[in-house]
Structure 1
């Protein structure tokens, strides 16, 4: 945000602050157990890989093939947000555009999509029901802190695996949706704080001195497609890294990162007390999932994929672990 702050940017600010939000000192979600910490990016990726492998096993038990989906790496989870603040990370990854390319390649090469397309209509209905359940299995809904409602079925392999990993799928669904959507509760107020506006102004002056006249970090991201449109890949990459490093350097050499982190903790203490139980549950169930993931990950994670086959060619191989 510039010296002039737009409320529409609130969600983007919340994204970068989220890295410190759930672990901030003195925040309302810190209950009487210091063991209820947030998972590290590497641990989060590990749990999601275990989840995908368990979905594969569950789908096999129902007579279908499933290939574990691509999971964001720990490095990908450390980037993004409103402002780059890790100079070394920025120098190595720029603005994560290579991650975007990898994700798009994985999406286009998704074997599950090709498999589903090859099914007959009745098979596809059974496949979708096996994976995601149906309204007949039951529905649950959660009202989000910032408004709106999300719903899900309580059946299918995704729900079954989540129940296995996190201990209670309905409770996990509620806690996750609330804990991951808290920025709407306090960020709109935070970005109007004079201290935040001054910090963004200092960052903009630092960038201008470095030869990059941008009022906000968001302005850089908006300009990148235009700046790199007619350049080769190497030149585009070099420019991206140059801007990302400058952005992170200025975030660290001016009060921006420190102020944003401090205000994040301050406003979370003030605004998020009503969500204490949900945040505590979210952290506790994440740690439960980590312990369960460690128990189920092993030789299966290195098992080679088998040739594509139809549901009729598959047969159940044992019980769901």
Structure 2
């Protein structure tokens, strides 16, 4: 079972604001990687996916996992897959007033994710299996952790994913090459530590953030930054009922969004993210091209299922 969930995360992650921060796959990794010392510009003819298109791919992947698990002799329940509205959570600053009025900070998404983690049929089904079958179920779904694909991260270190299993098989079908996809996607989506510190020091952001803080104080919400709200969010509603907490978060989120609009903090943050991320991508143009190529290919294959 896969699910993207909303969560409180550090500012270094929250600052990934543009659509190009997702993941993708495509041709073989070696073909996607530029030769050493070469920094060819990314192919700008390749567009990124919309959130709605990402949902299509995620749902297709779950259908493929279902087929694979049934072939292995197990039951499997697809989803839930995060929808377009849920994918707007976790941004550096809320600046969509209508979204804030509907969702606050995504509390309902958080509750649904927690409920899924505890009671989804895939969890209860696997837990009810005899030990030997439970091990076989895990291997069928997620593969063997001793046989992995490794991706070196631009900021240092590495991440790994099993080479086999139904999740890997589904991504192989969608992206054409699971290993190449994993390496390209992890490269492109792991650049934030390289450029976020630069954004945070940029005078354009600090100026907009200071203006936002003055606006919030004037509205009776004295927070120094959106990140401070994220850090204190749980404490602000401690002891409240769910309905009270939701109303309080909606009120605060709406104020945050109105001040972000008034001071252009959201627009400034997104503009700077695009600017600095483009510079970081210049050294990984091959992976970026492969990432977008594979994502578009996956969308086409998803629609053919």
Question: Same fold by TM-score, threshold 0.5 exceeded?
Answer: yes
User: Match of 2:60, SS?
Assistant: helix
Q: Which of residues 252, 263, 269 in structure 2 aligns to 1:254?
A: 263
Distance in 2, Cα, partners of 1:29 & 1:248: 35
State the partner residue of 2:82. Answer: 72
Distance in 2, Cα, partners of 1:293 & 1:69: 15
Distance in 2, Cα, partners of 1:273 & 1:211: 43
1:78-101: CA deviations, max 9, x gaps? 222110011111111100011000
Q: Which of residues 111, 115, 131 in structure 2 aligns to 1:101?
A: 111
1:250-273: CA deviations, max 9, x gaps? 111103122212222221233320
Whichever of the two has the greater Rg, that structure is 1
Q: Against the structure 1 CA distance between its residues 193 and 291, is the aligned structure 2 distance closer, same or farther, given a 3 Å change threshold?
A: same
Q: Against the structure 1 CA distance between its residues 32 and 193, is the aligned structure 2 distance closer, same or farther, given a 3 Å change threshold?
A: closer
User: Match of 1:142, SS?
Assistant: strand
Unaligned runs of 5+ in 1: 1-7, 23-27, 297-321
State the partner residue of 2:94. Answer: 84
1:206-240: CA deviations, max 9, x gaps? 11111111101122223332222233333322221
Distance in 2, Cα, partners of 1:273 & 1:59: 40
TM-aligned CA deviation for residue 20 of structure 1: 6.2
2:168 paired with 1:159: yes
Distance in 2, Cα, partners of 1:13 & 1:77: 12
1:170-319 aligned within 5 A:
170-296=179-305
Distance in 2, Cα, partners of 1:20 & 1:215: 28
Q: Which is further off, 88-97 or 266-275?
A: 266-275
The total of aligned residue pairs comes to: 280
User: Match of 1:39, SS?
Assistant: coil
Q: Which is further off, 118-127 or 150-159?
A: 118-127
1:7-86 aligned within 5 A:
10-15=11-16, 17-19=17-19, 30-33=42-45, 36-86=46-96
TM-aligned CA deviation for residue 69 of structure 1: 3.0
Distance in 1, Cα, partners of 2:41 & 2:109: 32
- Verify the 8 A CA contact 1:202 1:255 in the aligned structure 2: no
State the partner residue of 1:115. Answer: 125
TM superposition score normalised by structure 1: 0.81
Q: Which is further off, 190-199 or 226-235?
A: 226-235
- Verify the 8 A CA contact 1:207 1:250 in the aligned structure 2: yes
Q: Against the structure 1 CA distance between its residues 32 and 267, is the aligned structure 2 distance closer, same or farther, given a 3 Å change threshold?
A: closer
Q: Against the structure 1 CA distance between its residues 156 and 246, is the aligned structure 2 distance closer, same or farther, given a 3 Å change threshold?
A: same
User: Match of 1:191, SS?
Assistant: helix
TM-aligned CA deviation for residue 9 of structure 1: 5.3
